[in-house]
Amino acid sequence: MERAKFLLEEKDMPTRWYNIQADLPVPLPPYLHPGTKQPIGPADLAPLFAMELIKQEVSQERYIDIPEEVQEVYRLWRPTILHRAYRLEKALDTPAKIYYKYEGTSPPGSHKPNTAVAQAYYNKKEGIKRISTETGAGQWGSSLAFACNLFGIECKVYMVRISYNQKPYRRIMMETWGATCVPSPSPDTKAGRDMLAKDPDCPGSLGLAISEAVEDAVSRDDTHYSLGSVLNHVLMHQTIIGQEAMKQMEMAGDYPDIIVGCIGGGSNFAGMYLPFVKDKILGKKPNLRVINVEPESCPTVTKGLYAYDYGDVAGMAPIAKMFTLGHGFIPPPVHAGGLRYHGMAPIICHLHKLGFVEAQAVPQMATFEAGITFARAEGIISAPETNHAIRVTIDEALKCKKEGKSKVILLAHSGHGHFDMAAYEAYLSGKLQDYAYPEDMVKAALKELPEVSAEYK
């Protein structure tokens, strides 16, 4: 058998992040201030973010150096392995060649530390003592807790209530690394108290948890806010994944025809494909397909409207142009975990509108079926989020079988599911069911979009 895994040495780890903004054929639409509805400036973001992160958010430089202190932490688990999925190929009896880049070897078990470590470092350099954040499935919260512990920063995490209840071990991970984790909506903020008064049994949402974390940050001089997805600098930090994958695909002697990954806010998958999509933008690989996969229960890109919307429920976060289900969207309590944000990374939305990437929505039951197929073939029990991408990877491989074509498929595998066994138990015991978010509820949520100037629509 040919090589089944492709390993880079520490010296081969990228030392710069790639910034797609330098190569976009059309610039990103600006963020707008939630109060003035005008383009936001660095001074507006200073209460929330470290200034170096603000600079990275708007930078047009193609590469940003990774500080040595951040590289030192990365070396705990990076470079990560690229696997050739021979056993999955055999199980599917497909002529397709399937590769997957596995991010589950980081201490928190996912891709999230790639940006958590960088954000904690820049905040530490600026003298920040405390960081507030939100988390959905808990992967981001546990990653920021891990990073804050390394740099001696206090961490407060507002965890979407349904995930807080479904995934207690993620909370315990955060607490083990010294963070404080509370269910959102919480009584700790006005945004949380207002929602609890309106709906005491509210399952929570990422948009609401963001409101709480932002309110927490702006109310204290010693605190900054940290976001695990969506923003440009977050996606840029994740491009270390794609840059490593490009080197490893060269080692394998292949280049992907199709790249597949899951999207909730978009950082995991964008981190994989942005270095590759550059080749498509420049005309080097015009036929490359990039498939963003989301849940049918939260169909942001496939059913949402491309419009300016608040990044959070309370309208405190910057207004971004993105595919959105409406900032008041409260998702159903399904196991899509971190894939339940009402919006999407502006970069992903922009690339989708320009025709460089595509999107598909898949049902919950089919994703767990795919995850079990993957586990029984490759041995890795994947996060429920990752299972969405595995579903489409399998579908594309079976399509190759049907058509008698051999294509190279690259899967962005965002992390393991070791803390998600309750979800697997629910699936295996027949307790899970599919849920497609109703079109009329999407339309209702979109009625609350902010009014912005015609020049920005």
Residues 326 and 337 in one domain: yes
Q: Helical H runs in 156-266?
A: 161-166, 168-176, 190-198, 206-218, 232-252
Residues 354 and 399 in one domain: yes
Residues 366 and 445 in one domain: yes
Share of the chain above pLDDT 90, in %: 81
Residues 163 and 300 in one domain: no
Amino acid at 300: T
Residues 177 and 245 in one domain: no
pLDDT one-digit tens code per residue, 106-121: 999 999 999 999 999 9
Structural domain of residue 212, as residue ranges? 15-67+111-225
Q: Is 234 inside any structural domain?
A: no
Q: In what order do the strands lie in the sheet with 408-413?
A: 5-6, 82-84, 97-102, 408-413, 258-262, 289-295, 358-362
Residue 330, pLDDT above cutoff 80: no
Share of the chain above pLDDT 70, in %: 98
**CA angle centred on 215, ends 233 and 234, rounded to 5°:** 10
Residues 321 and 185 in one domain: no
pLDDT band with cut points at 50, 70 and 90 for residue 335: low
Tell me the sheet residues that pair with 110.
Answer: 415
Whole-model pTM: value is 0.95
Q: Is 254 inside any structural domain?
A: yes
State residue 308's pLDDT score: 95
Q: Is 230 inside any structural domain?
A: no
Q: Is 72 inside any structural domain?
A: no
Cis amide leading into 275 (omega within 30) = no
Amino acid at 284: K
State residue 65's pLDDT score: 98
Q: Is 235 inside any structural domain?
A: no
The domain total for the chain is 2
pLDDT one-digit tens code per residue, 46-81: 999 999 999 999 999 999 999 999 999 999 999 999
Residue 300, pLDDT above cutoff 60: yes
- The answer to whether 276 touches 345, Cβ cutoff 8 Å, is no
Residues 217 and 361 in one domain: no
138 versus 291: the higher-pLDDT residue is 291
Residues 376 and 418 in one domain: yes
pLDDT band with cut points at 50, 70 and 90 for residue 21: very high
Q: Is 211 inside any structural domain?
A: yes
Residues 218 and 268 in one domain: no
State residue 332's pLDDT score: 66
Handedness of CA 364, 265, 355, 370 (dihedral sign): negative
Q: Is 73 inside any structural domain?
A: no
| Domain CATH for 153 | 3.40.50.1100
Residue 334, pLDDT above cutoff 70: no
Residues 343 and 278 in one domain: yes
State residue 1's pLDDT score: 53
How far is it, in rounded angstroms, from Cα 101 to Cα 84?
9
Cα 12 off chain centre by: 25
Q: What is the DSSP letter of 59?
A: -
Residues 162 and 44 in one domain: yes
pLDDT band with cut points at 50, 70 and 90 for residue 442: confident
Give me 134's structure tokens. 């939100």
pLDDT band with cut points at 50, 70 and 90 for residue 337: low
- The answer to whether 437 touches 303, Cβ cutoff 8 Å, is yes
Give me 389's structure tokens. 């991408």
Q: Is 161 inside any structural domain?
A: yes
